[in-house]
Amino acid sequence: MDYGMKAKLLQHEEEEEEEEEDGDLKRRIWDESKKIWRVALPSIIARVTSFGTLVVTQSFIGHISDIDLAGYALVQTLAIRFINGLLVGMSSATETLCGQSFGAGQHHMMGIHLQRSWVIDLITITILLPILIFGTQIFKLLGEEESIANSGGYISLWFIPFIYNYVFSLTIQMYLQAQVKNMIIAWLATFQFFIHILLSILFVHKLNMGVAGAMIALSTTSWLLVIGEFIYIFGGWCPHSWKGFTIAAFKDLVPAVKLSISSGVMVCLEFWYNAVLVLLAGYTEDAGVAISAFSICLNINMWEFTISLAFLGAACVRVANELGRGNAKAVRFSVDVLLGTSIAIGVFFFVLCLVFRRKLAYLFTDDVRVADTVSDLSLLLSFSVLLNSIYPILSGVAIGAGMQATVAVINLVSYYLIGIPFGALLGYTTSLQVKGIWIGMIGGIVAQTITLVYMIIWRTNWDDEVKKVSERLGKFYLKSDGNYEQLSN
């Protein structure tokens, strides 16, 4: 065989190997995508519809009066986001522990982690009640206009029965998500959303109950979701992970509290970031218009962000499961697929926000000034939506690996030492006003994103993380013999 023939044979063999590798990569991406979407799709449906109830309530109140729209925006964006951010963060500890326990085959521990989270979150939310009870006084102390502060204080009282649903709804979603059983939450949340619209129409328009009617509809439907989740868990659909109530949930609370606090600080710093910026908007000229417009944009951004939160949850589950199994290589591959999928979705919504611009505002208000301001902010809204497709995924990876404390420091520096001062500088010393505040917000997110990319993608040694997870699971492990005897300290 001459040299030319050998060269052709070698080239043919190389091409076949490349095709096999390419085919294998496509198969791996497809398999990983299916695992991601099994978690993400139900979570997207659940989060979009659940948060949608708040958006629908804002829409109904916005057509009652402009003052009540600003008051609701103040409460929801400041007080409720403050509380929700802390609870979401603390509940993410449940996501970490349940995901890693599921990956390690310690299914019975998941029910114990869930009950521990109920105890911790119930105490936390009760401590936070004065924020809603003294809403009017707090808003006035913060320098908000008296009419807006009074409206906000009245609405904040109606939020009290609503916020207690977070104790159960957030933690149960993460508990079910860790074992890929969250489709039930998607169905329940969708049912909740449509019932909420019907009840809002009944109470606000048919019975003319105004703001009170809108808030009663919100609280009622939020608890319908929780009741449905209880029926699913207690009814025997989680036989391996739910073994009934146990006194073991009150044991070893200190390590769980530590992880919950670090998780809470990490996530709530992100949620509170937007809240602080709305507060800053309240000090600009024509504060009512500024707060309403900013809140509408942030609610649209947050509604799209719920999709990113679904991928955050998928990232947490996939990373936690694979770390629990001890598969560092699978973790790295999953992160790559998650980022690629999420960024593609982010580009789609980026274009969507640019196309609809002004029309978005009229879903919430009839005020032309507010609509004009929203339209003016639409470009910044689009960029915020695009960034939503990156940093939540990296945060989800960090939660799955138990790196919450590190990310909390990154969030603190990026948001509160860079973003807010930069936004305040542009908002108050230039003619940009609200737009300047939002540019500062985006600056903080960009700083956070760059840091997380460096930390998660380039710096983290996933083989070392596998060892850390093994040690953590050993620390929390209890026997499943009914006595729940602790094996290690």
- Tens-binned pLDDT, residue by residue, of the chain (489 aa): 554 444 444 454 444 444 445 568 888 899 999 888 988 888 888 888 888 899 899 889 988 888 888 889 889 877 888 888 788 777 777 777 787 788 778 888 888 889 988 988 899 899 999 999 999 999 898 888 888 899 999 999 999 999 999 999 989 988 998 888 888 989 999 999 999 999 999 999 999 999 999 999 999 999 999 999 999 999 989 998 898 888 877 876 777 777 677 666 766 776 677 667 667 776 666 667 777 777 778 778 877 887 887 888 888 888 888 888 888 888 889 989 999 999 999 999 898 888 887 777 777 777 888 888 888 888 888 998 899 889 889 888 887 787 877 888 888 899 888 988 998 898 888 888 778 888 988 999 899 999 988 888 788 888 888 887 777 666 665 655 444 443 333
Work out whether the CA dihedral 171, 172, 173, 179 comes out positive or negative: positive
Distances (CA, A) of 371 to 180, 363, 385, 448: 41, 10, 19, 31
Q: Is residue 22 part of a domain?
A: no
Q: Does residue 263 fall inside a structural domain? A: yes
Q: How many CB atoms lie within 10 A of CB 423?
A: 28
Quote the tokens at residue 138.
């707090």
Name the residue among 412, 227, 385 with its Cα closest to residue 308: 385
Total count of domains within the chain: 1
Could you tell me which of 489, 401, 390 has the C-alpha nearest to residue 448? 390
Q: Is 283 contained in some domain?
A: yes
How far, in Å, CA of 10 to CA of 488, rounded? 58
The per-residue b/e assignment along 210-241, b for 16 or more CB within 10 angstroms, e otherwise, is: ebebbbbbbbbbbbbbbebbeebbeeeebeeb
Helices 391-401 & 328-356 angle (0-180, nearest 10): 150
What Rg do the C-alpha atoms of the chain give, in angstroms?
24
Q: Is residue 91 part of a domain?
A: yes
Q: What angle do CA 303, 140, 299 make, to 5 degrees?
A: 5
**pLDDT value of residue 474:** 65
Distances (CA, A) of 78 to 28, 64, 135: 43, 21, 10
Start-to-end C-alpha separation, the chain: 70
113 and 94 Cβ atoms separated by less than 8 Å = yes
Which residues are CB-neighbours of 201 under 8 A, at least 6 positions away? none
- The pTM score is 0.73
223/230 Cα distance (integer angstroms): 11
Q: Which two tokens stand for residue 367?
A: 């005020």
3-state class (DSSP) for residue 273? helix
Is residue 12 included in any domain, yes or no?
no
CA–CA dist 83, 275 (Å, integer): 11
DSSP class of 365: -
Sign of CA dihedral 183, 184, 187, 188: negative
184-193 burial string, b = 16+ CB within 10 Å, else e?
bbbebbbebb
C-alpha span between 138 and 129 (Å, rounded): 13
Residue 352, H or E segment: helix 328-356
The answer to the question of residue 463 being in a domain is: yes
25 Cβ partners below 8 Å, 6+ apart?
none
pLDDT at 275: 67
CA 380 to chain centre: 21
| Residue 482: predicted pLDDT | 46
Runs of H (alpha helix) within 63-182: 66-74, 81-103, 108-127, 130-133, 135-141, 146-158, 160-163, 165-178
Residue ranges making up the domain that contains 374 = 37-473
Residue 315: inside a domain, yes or no? Answer: yes
Distance CA(266)–CA(281), nearest Å, equals 24
Q: Which residue has the tokens 């309240």?
A: 282
Decide if 29 is inside a domain: no
